[in-house]
Amino acid sequence: MGALGKYQIVVMTVMFELGSTPLFELGIEAKQDAWLAMLFASLAGLVLTWIYLRIQLRFPSYGLNELLRAHLGRILGAAVSLLFAVYFIYEASRNVRDFSELTVMTILQQTPQWIIIAIVCLIGLYAAWKGTTVFFRVVELLFPIVFVSYAFILLLLIVSRLSNYHRLLPMLEHGVAPVLNAAFPDIVSFPFGQMVVFLVFWHRVKENKRLGRAAVWAYIVVAFFLTLMNALTISILGPEIASISSLPLLEVVQLIRFASFLERVDVFVTLLLYIGLYVKMTLFYMAAILVVNGIFPKSYRTYAVVIIVLIAAMAFLEPDHTTFIWIGLTVSVKIFPLFQIVIPLLLLVIGALRGLGSNKGVDGGAAAEK
């Protein structure tokens, strides 16, 4: 499979982080300071991204499997890789479930969820079948659509004068504590810590030297945008409504009335969220395939089929939406930091202690991935 361009990584970072994030009003426990929580979390995420990049740049040609093996040894490395694969599969399955819940809640109220899940899994499988290179290109093609749409929505929100900054006041009403409580570890682990998935893909970038800068800039831009969207939502809905609504962004765009014909933009926003969810789901899914194929090398496409079936099955685990959200917001966010923070930090420290990558380990071995 071919190498990836720097621009492709930038676009993928933006699209991936964007994903379904604007859908939820993250950090709403901090009331009107939710956007501050978002800001703090994104700063923490920036540090995490830096850590991931440090690990990656020790061995620029290594994928996640090789990195783990280089740091932790053969057996432990493989075991942790497997854990990562499980984590990726679970993240992907949550995205699939998000997809179906969103659809059933908004535009197809009467369609059974399993149909949606099946279709989403099939288009994911199709992308995986075509391979990483093609998928990155698809995201490149989707990016202009998403970019223009979000720009358009922002423009509409501004011209329709819905936003009122008084709703963001008073800032830090109860001090910094609630803000930090909201930010850590919840928002850090979703969406910012999910950057860890790029450890599977970064080594494929052609210009490794400039990778760090490109990834960090893409991250900063998208983090800023997410914080802005968060603040906009609160400034439009106010913290009370934003906290009880299940899909705050859709509530916001429903308020848009422009020139008496653009009245229900929310369907288009739903489509935008679909694109984001699709990108996120497929990237996790492909990461899982590549990691598993790296541990037990067999056929990429066999694993693609097996793993998509697993993802589809796991999407049915939670009986209803409430459980799904509850697990996502309380249980998962407590486990995810293991992969997003604890293990990378461990790798960073181990690598520093053993002095990995400092000497000519740059081309220690070619990436074994397909």
Partner 1 sequence: MAFFSKRKGSARQSDTYTSTKGKGGKQTDKVEPLTADLDVNARVIGDRLGGSLDIVLRELRSAGKESIRLIVVYIDSIVDHRMIQEGILSPLADSPIPPLDLQDSGQDNNRQGSIIVGIAKHILSIGTIRSITTIEEALEALLGGSCLILAESEQTALAADVSGGEQRAVTEASTQTVIRGPQHSFTENCMTNIGLLRRIIRSSELRIHCLYIGRHTNTRIAVVYIEGIADAGVVNEMNRRLRAIDIDGVLESGYVEEFIQDKTFTPFPTLMNVERPDVVAAGLLEGQVAVIVDGTPFVLLAPVTFFKFFQSAEDYYQRYDISTFLRMLRHFAFVVSMLLPATYIAVTTFHQEMLPTTLLISLAAQREGVPFPALAEALLMEITFEVLREAGVRMPRAIGPAISIVGALVLGQAAVQAGLVSPAMVIAVSFTAISNFVTPQFNIAIAARLIRFSLMLLAGALGFFGIITGIIVVLTHLAGLRSFGVPYMTPAAPLLPSSLKDILIRVPRWAMSTRPLAIGGGKRKKDAKAPPWQRRSSGPEEE
Q: Which residues bind partner 1 (CB under 8 A)?
A: 5, 7-8, 103, 107-108, 111, 115-116, 119-120, 123, 126-127, 130-131, 134-138, 140-142, 144, 260-261, 263-264, 267, 270-271, 274-275, 278
Q: What is the H or E stretch that residue 35 is in?
A: helix 34-58
CB of 196 to partner 1, least distance (A): 25
Q: Please, which residue, 103 or 230, has the CB nearer to partner 1?
A: 103
Q: Which residues does residue 258 pair with via DSSP β-bridges, in sequence order?
A: 262
- What the block records as the tokens of 288 is 């899982």
Q: How far is the CB of 158 from partner 1 (least distance, A)?
A: 22
Q: Shortest approach of partner 1 to residue 278 CB, angstroms?
A: 6
Q: Which is nearer to partner 1, 108 or 314 (CB)?
A: 108
Could you tell me which of 281, 289, 280, 283 has the C-alpha nearest to residue 85? 289
- Compute the least distance from the CB of residue 316 to partner 1, in Å: 19
Q: How far is the CB of 190 from partner 1 (least distance, A)?
A: 23
Q: What amino acid occupies position 190? A: F
Q: Which is nearer to partner 1, 111 or 358 (CB)?
A: 111
Q: Shortest Cβ distance from residue 366 to partner 1 (Å)?
A: 16
Q: How far is the CB of 126 from partner 1 (least distance, A)?
A: 6
Give 275 or 356: the residue with its C-beta nearer to partner 1: 275
Q: In whole angstroms, what is the distance from residue 99 CA to residue 166 CA? A: 34
Where would I find the beta strands (DSSP E) of 219-267? none
Rounded to whole angstroms, the Cα distance separating 109 from 312 reads: 20
Give the residue with the Cβ less far from partner 1, 100 or 163: 100
Of 350, 332, 291, the C-alpha closest to 62 is: 291
Question: Residue 262: what are its φ and ψ, rounded to 5°?
Answer: -90, 85
Measured from the CB atom, is 50 or 126 closer to partner 1? 126
Residue 264 vs 298, nearer CB to partner 1:
264
Which is closer to partner 1, CB of 140 or CB of 251? 140
Counting other chains too, the contacts that 167-172 makes at CB distance below 8 Å and 24 or more residues apart are 167/32, 167/234, 167/235, 167/236, 167/237, 167/238, 167/239, 168/32, 168/35, 168/231, 168/234, 168/235, 169/32, 170/32, 171/32, 171/33, 171/36, 172/33, 172/36
The full length of the chain comes to 370
CB of 102 to partner 1, least distance (A): 10
Contact 293, 300 (CB under 8 A): yes
